[in-house]
């Protein structure tokens, strides 16, 4: 009996030993996969400002694709019951790692809101707020990648065709980006990795918005990944060049040729459509903006800048978001509006408007008679920064974290912004990341873009990314864009996305440039994002056909038995 128990104990010890060896092997494999996914996400994060290595986007997603498609399910052997490897082996966490690398690096500028001691927030609390904002928005974006990776694995698990994988993967990514754009947090679409340097490919946005650029990047990456997965392995080595890599190269070239044809179309600019616009970059630091010194500098700087631009014979002047941080009546009593009445030159002034018991972040058109001609209220507000999400539920908690008043409210989504020069397309700061805001106004007859932003308190990478967003909106709508920011980068952009002038960062500047009002309507402006639904329907149809084929095959096998 003792001998039998001894043998049993020895066997259990060997089983545990094999299980522990297996666990160690699995853990190393999972750590490697996680590291590869994180590193490739970081590569994608390097495509935007401040690095702007845009070309990395065309292969930085491929490693994640390979990991998702080739990530085989691990089997528990020899009775080893530790579930940890199965958890870390999930496609969800591999996608999360890639998303953390990409979104975390691209959005690191968010930490620039610290310190907020000038607002009365203690230093440590300010650091906690900045860290919370960065971590939360990073995980929000990373979760979308994790959902994509999980969906890819589930859907493609029973579909062996590589080209079908590419179609499904592209459709899923575009679909998830579209859903994100409906919400309050949306900035790091992978389409903006190509702005401002690859203007040729950005012209695909004229066909179906930024999702056309996203689809191009995902499809090329998917084909490169499938080329690696389906490489021919031989005794002498392995051959990577196959039909999938050839297809990827052909697709990349073809898409750039289409973009080039759109990019090289001449701009028809009749003199009757010309409009000379001036911008004032006030350079009022957030630390003093709402205090007497900041208010004094704002009134002086914008009034002086306005007069300087009037001397240059401009037709209108654009100021940044919140240039005069007052309500309408106080703005009308300001020295700036007094000069507008005197000089008779139209000015767009960033300020606040009343909306019931709340207020809006607004852009006011003030005409030469000193009256408000029109008002645009910001639609897309920054969560926590400009309003409290789920205020009824979380208001008490989040209001203690938020340094700003939570009573700011959004404007109506269907606003029309008329001006004495015709209908304009208005966008205030954060709205630059939401293409539908601009598409709607362009479809309604907007002839030029007025982008008014603050962008203060951040490193130069944030306004550079913001400028990249406005370039995309100008191309998609085929409109001239005028950007006025508080601290930079202010700019003038033509309908091909070419920056005609751009300011310095953290400088006080004024500049005048002639733009042209346009009434063209791109395919995207007329039809919106038609590509994503087409991809989703096509991918769904192919999946359904494959599913029915498999079911029919199984039924025939059962009948034969």
Share above pLDDT 90 across residues of the chain, in percent, rounded to a whole number = 69
Instruction: Quick: pLDDT tens for 468-498.
Output: 999 999 999 999 999 999 998 999 999 999 9
Q: Which of 321, 328, 339, 386 is catalytic?
A: 321
Please give the Cα distance from 516 to 276 (Å, whole number).
8
Instruction: Quick: pLDDT tens for 281-333.
Output: 999 988 888 888 989 999 999 999 999 999 999 999 999 999 999 899 999 99
Confidence band, pLDDT 50/70/90 cuts, at residue 62: very high
Which pLDDT score, from 0 to 100, does residue 91 have? 86
53 neighbors 212 (Cβ within 8 angstroms): no
Q: Which of 20-24, 286-290, 362-366, 379-383 has the lowest mean pLDDT?
A: 20-24
Question: CATH 3.60.110.10 occupies which residues in the chain?
Answer: 272-380+411-523
- If you search the block for the tokens 């982008």, which residue do you land on? 451
429 counts as catalytic: yes
Please give the Cα distance from 81 to 61 (Å, whole number).
34
Confidence band, pLDDT 50/70/90 cuts, at residue 391: low
Higher pLDDT, 431 or 398: 431
Helix (H) or strand (E) holding 290: none
Q: What are phi and psi of 535, to 5 degrees?
A: -65, -45
Instruction: Quick: pLDDT tens for 442-473.
Output: 999 999 999 999 998 888 999 999 999 999 99
| Residue 81 scores a pLDDT above 70 | no
517 neighbors 446 (Cβ within 8 angstroms): no
Write the CATH number of the domain with boundaries 272-380+411-523: 3.60.110.10
Higher pLDDT, 90 or 86: 90
Q: Which of 429, 431, 476, 513 is catalytic?
A: 429
Query: Looking at residues 523-543, what average pLDDT do you find?
Result: 96
| Residue 432 scores a pLDDT above 90 | yes
72 counts as catalytic: no
Neighbours of 327 (CB within 10 A): 14
Please give the Cα distance from 477 to 318 (Å, whole number).
20
| Residue 534 scores a pLDDT above 50 | yes
Distant-in-sequence, close-in-space partners of 71: CB < 8 Å, separation ≥ 6:
33, 89, 91, 94, 153
Neighbours of 36 (CB within 10 A): 17
Residue 71: which of 87, 94, 49 has the closest Cα? Answer: 94
Higher pLDDT, 227 or 14: 227
- If you search the block for the tokens 């306005």, which residue do you land on? 306
Confidence band, pLDDT 50/70/90 cuts, at residue 557: confident
Neighbours of 545 (CB within 10 A): 11
Beta bridge partners of 234: 237
Residue 13 structure tokens: 């010890």
Confidence band, pLDDT 50/70/90 cuts, at residue 543: confident
| Residue 90 scores a pLDDT above 70 | yes
509 counts as catalytic: no
- State how far the alpha carbon of 352 is from the alpha carbons of 355, 362, 366, in Å: 10, 5, 14
What is the bridge-based pairing of β-strands 372-377 and 358-366?
antiparallel
Which pLDDT score, from 0 to 100, does residue 16 have? 53
Query: Looking at residues 180-203, what average pLDDT do you find?
Result: 96
Q: Which of 378, 380, 476, 513 is catalytic?
A: 378
Side-by-side strand order, sheet with 372-377:
372-377, 358-366, 346-355, 316-318, 274-281, 509-516
Beta bridge partners of 375: 364
Which pLDDT score, from 0 to 100, does residue 7 have? 52
Q: What mean pLDDT is reported for the chain?
A: 88
| Residue 528 scores a pLDDT above 70 | yes
512 neighbors 283 (Cβ within 8 angstroms): no
| Residue 54 scores a pLDDT above 90 | yes
Higher pLDDT, 88 or 272: 272
Query: Looking at residues 16-21, what average pLDDT do you find?
Result: 52
């Amino acid at each position: 009996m003792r001998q039998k128990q001894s043998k049993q104990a020895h066997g259990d010890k060997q089983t545990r030993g094999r299980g522990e060896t297996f666990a160690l092997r699995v853990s190393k494999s999972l750590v490697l996969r996680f590291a590869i996914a994180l590193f490739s996400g970081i590569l994608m994060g390097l495509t935007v400002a401040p690095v702007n290595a845009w070309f990395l986007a065309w292969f930085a997603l491929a490693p994640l694709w390979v990991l998702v498609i080739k990530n085989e399910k691990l089997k528990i052997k020899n009775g080893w019951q530790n579930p940890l490897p199965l958890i870390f082996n999930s496609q969800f966490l591999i996608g999360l790692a890639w998303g953390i690398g990409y979104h975390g690096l691209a959005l690191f500028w968010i930490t620039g809101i610290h310190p907020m001691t000038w607002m009365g927030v203690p230093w440590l609390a300010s650091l906690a707020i900045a860290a919370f904002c960065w971590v939360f928005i990073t995980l929000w974006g990373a979760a979308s990648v994790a959902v994509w990776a999980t969906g890819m694995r589930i859907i493609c698990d029973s579909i062996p065709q590589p080209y079908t994988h590419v179609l499904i993967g592209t459709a899923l990514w575009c679909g998830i980006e579209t859903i994100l754009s409906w919400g309050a947090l949306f900035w790091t679409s992978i389409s903006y990795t190509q702005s401002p340097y690859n203007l040729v490919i950005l012209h695909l946005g004229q066909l179906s918005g930024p999702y056309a650029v996203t689809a191009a990047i995902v499809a090329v990456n998917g084909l490169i990944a499938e080329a690696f997965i389906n490489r021919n392995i031989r005794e002498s080595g392995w051959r990577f060049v196959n039909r999938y890599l050839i297809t990827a190269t052909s697709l990349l070239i073809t898409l750039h040729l289409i973009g080039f044809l759109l990019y090289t179309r001449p701009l028809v600019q009749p003199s009757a459509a010309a409009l000379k616009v001036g911008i004032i970059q006030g350079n009022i630091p957030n630390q003093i903006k709402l205090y007497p010194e900041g208010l004094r500098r704002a009134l002086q700087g914008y009034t002086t800048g306005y007069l300087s631009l009037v001397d240059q014979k401009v037709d209108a002047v654009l100021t940044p978001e919140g240039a005069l941080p007052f309500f309408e009546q106080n703005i009308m009593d300001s020295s700036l509006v007094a000069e507008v009445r005197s000089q008779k030159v139209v000015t767009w002034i960033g300020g606040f408007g009343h909306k019931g018991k709340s207020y809006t972040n607004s852009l006011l058109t003030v005409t030469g008679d000193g009256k408000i001609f029109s008002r645009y209220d910001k639609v897309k507000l920054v969560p926590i920064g400009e309003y409290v999400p789920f205020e009824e539920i979380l208001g008490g908690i989040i209001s203690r974290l938020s340094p700003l008043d939570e009573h700011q409210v959004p404007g109506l989504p269907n606003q029309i912004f008329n001006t004495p020069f015709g209908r304009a397309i208005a966008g205030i700061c954060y709205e630059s990341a939401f293409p539908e805001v601009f598409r709607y106004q362009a479809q309604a007859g907007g002839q030029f873009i007025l982008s008014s932003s603050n962008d203060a308190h951040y490193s130069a990478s944030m306004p550079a990314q913001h400028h990249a967003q406005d370039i995309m909106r100008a191309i998609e709508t085929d409109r001239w864009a005028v950007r006025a920011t508080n601290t930079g980068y202010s700019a003038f952009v033509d309908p091909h996305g070419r920056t005609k002038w751009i300011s310095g960062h953290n400088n006080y500047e004024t500049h005048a440039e002639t733009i042209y009002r346009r009434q063209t309507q791109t395919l995207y402006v007329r039809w919106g994002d038609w590509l994503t639904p087409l991809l989703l329907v096509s991918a769904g149809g192919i999946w359904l056909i494959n599913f029915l084929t498999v079911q029919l095959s199984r039924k025939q096998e059962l009948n034969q038995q």
